[in-house]
Amino acid sequence: MKILVIGAHGNVGQKLIRILSAQGDQVLAGVRDPAQLADLHDENIIPTKFDLEQLPDTLAQKMIGIDAIVFTAGSGGKTGADKTMLVDLDGAVKSMQAAQIAGVQRFVIVSALYTDDRQKWVGDMRPYYAAKYYADQWLINQTNLNYTIVRPGGLTNDAGTGLVQIDAEQDVAGSVAREDVAKVVAASLHNSKTAKRVFNLISGEKSIDEALNEL
Active site (catalytic) residues: 128
Rounded Cα distance between 108 and 160, Å, is 20
Beta-sheet pairing, 68-71 with 2-6: parallel
* 114 Ramachandran zone, left/alpha/beta (phi>0; psi -120 to 50): left
Strand order across the beta sheet in which 146-152 lies: 45-49, 26-31, 2-6, 68-71, 106-110, 146-152, 197-203, 163-167, 206-207
In a 3-state reduction of DSSP, which class is residue 137? helix
> Per residue in 56-74, is it b (16+ CB within 10 Å) or e — as a string?
beebbebbeebebbbbbbb
- Cα torsion at 105, 106, 112, 114 (round to 10°)? 60
Q: How far are the Cα atoms of 42, 53, 64, 126 from residue 20, in angstroms, in the given order?
A: 11, 26, 19, 32
